[in-house]
Amino acid sequence: NAGVTQTPKFQVLKTGQSMTLQCAQDMNHEYMSWYRQDPGMGLRLIHYSVGAGITDQGEVPNGYNVSRSTTEDFPLRLLSAAPSQTSVYFCASSPHREHLNTGELFFGEGSRLTVL
Amino acid sequence: QQQVKQSPQSLIVQKGGISIINCAYENTAFDYFPWYQQFPGKGPALLIAIRPDVSEKKEGRFTISFNKSAKQFSLHIMDSQPGDSATYFCAAPRPRGYSTLTFGKGTMLLVSP
């Protein structure tokens, strides 16, 4: 069982470039989300989705775009990369809204992005 | 907007000692409060969670204490081991109308041999 799979694990971009971080889960989870992790800032929510075709903004959505065309996939797009977007990005999922009842989100292993 | 304040930012404990990490939240319409553990290079993973209709939950060496009136909860690691060295995050659900968890800023725990 693969769980939550993120690709790529590492990426270096130049300022202004665009790219997509991929996230796929094989657990048939309805809820998926993207967090960024920065030293001293903890985990901050970028965007989330409660099901296919439904997305919403989190705490720090600016500069990022998401879509949810299937239950399995939730890609995160950086439209024009900036050095401030250098971070480690985590995708997380849960069955429907179970994370609110159990406190459990299932995280991927992260994608480390450096923007020069 | 949910605010979750976690302390301390870092903690060094000797092997066999007790590690204590604290968390305070502002408000919530849902009642489930988790702690996550993250090892270097890995994603966070649920360690233990509590509903505030109980004041304490224990799983092995890990205990959550919950004080609903003070809006605080804490993680206690008894007999701390070097393998417990990791970053710990508390989390709380955002208020009604949202479907997300808000995380604290994390505590880096180092258990010295």
Decide if B100 and A42 are in contact by the 8 Å CB cutoff.
Answer: no
Among B42-46, B56-60, B101-105, the minimum mean pLDDT is found in: B101-105
Asked if the model's pLDDT at residue B110 lies above 60, the reply is yes
Cβ-Cβ contacts under 8 Å for B3 (sequence gap 6 or more): B25, B26, B102
Per DSSP (E only), the strands in A14-107 are 19-25, 31-38, 42-51, 54-57, 64-66, 76-78, 87-94, 106-107
Rounded CA separation B24/B5 (Å): 5
* Interchain CB contact of A87 with B (< 8 Å): no
* Interchain CB contact of A21 with B (< 8 Å): no
Decide if B99 and A105 are in contact by the 8 Å CB cutoff.
Answer: no
**DSSP letter at B31?**
-
Asked if the model's pLDDT at residue B55 lies above 80, the reply is yes
pLDDT-based confidence at B29, cuts 50/70/90?
A: low
How many percent of chain B have pLDDT more than 90?
64
Taking the CA of residue A109 and the nearest CA in chain B, the distance in Å comes to 4
Confidence at residue B40, expressed as pLDDT on a 0 to 100 scale = 94
Confidence at residue B50, expressed as pLDDT on a 0 to 100 scale = 87
Comparing CB atoms, the residue among B6, B9, B30 nearest residue A100 is B30
B42 neighbourhood in chain A, CB within 8 Å: 109-110
Phi, psi dihedral angles at A84 (to 5 degrees): -65, -10
Decide if B43 and A108 are in contact by the 8 Å CB cutoff.
Answer: yes
How many percent of chain A have pLDDT more than 70?
94
Asked if the model's pLDDT at residue B32 lies above 60, the reply is yes
Comparing CB atoms, the residue among B33, B43, B49 nearest residue A110 is B43
pLDDT-based confidence at B53, cuts 50/70/90?
A: confident
Rounded CA separation B105/B36 (Å): 12
What does the block give as tokens for B69? 């009136």
pLDDT-based confidence at B33, cuts 50/70/90?
A: confident
Residue A58 in contact with residue A33, Cβ under 8 Å? yes
Give the model confidence (pLDDT) of A79-114 as tens digits: 999 999 999 999 999 887 666 667 789 999 999 999
Phi, psi dihedral angles at B82 (to 5 degrees): -55, -30
A58 neighbourhood in chain B, CB within 8 Å: 100
The stretch A20-47 carries a mean pLDDT of: 94
Residue A106 in contact with residue A5, Cβ under 8 Å? no
How many percent of chain A have pLDDT more than 90?
81
Rounded CA separation A39/B26 (Å): 23
Among chain A residues, CA nearest to B30? A100
Cβ-Cβ contacts under 8 Å for A31 (sequence gap 6 or more): A48, A49, A50, A51, A93, A94, A95, A96, A97, A98, A99, B99
pLDDT-based confidence at A44, cuts 50/70/90?
A: very high
Give the model confidence (pLDDT) of A66-75 as tens digits: 999 999 999 9
pLDDT-based confidence at B111, cuts 50/70/90?
A: very high
Residue A43 in contact with residue A35, Cβ under 8 Å? yes
Confidence at residue B98, expressed as pLDDT on a 0 to 100 scale = 57
Among chain B residues, CA nearest to A38? B105
Of residues B31 and B6, the one with the higher pLDDT is: B6
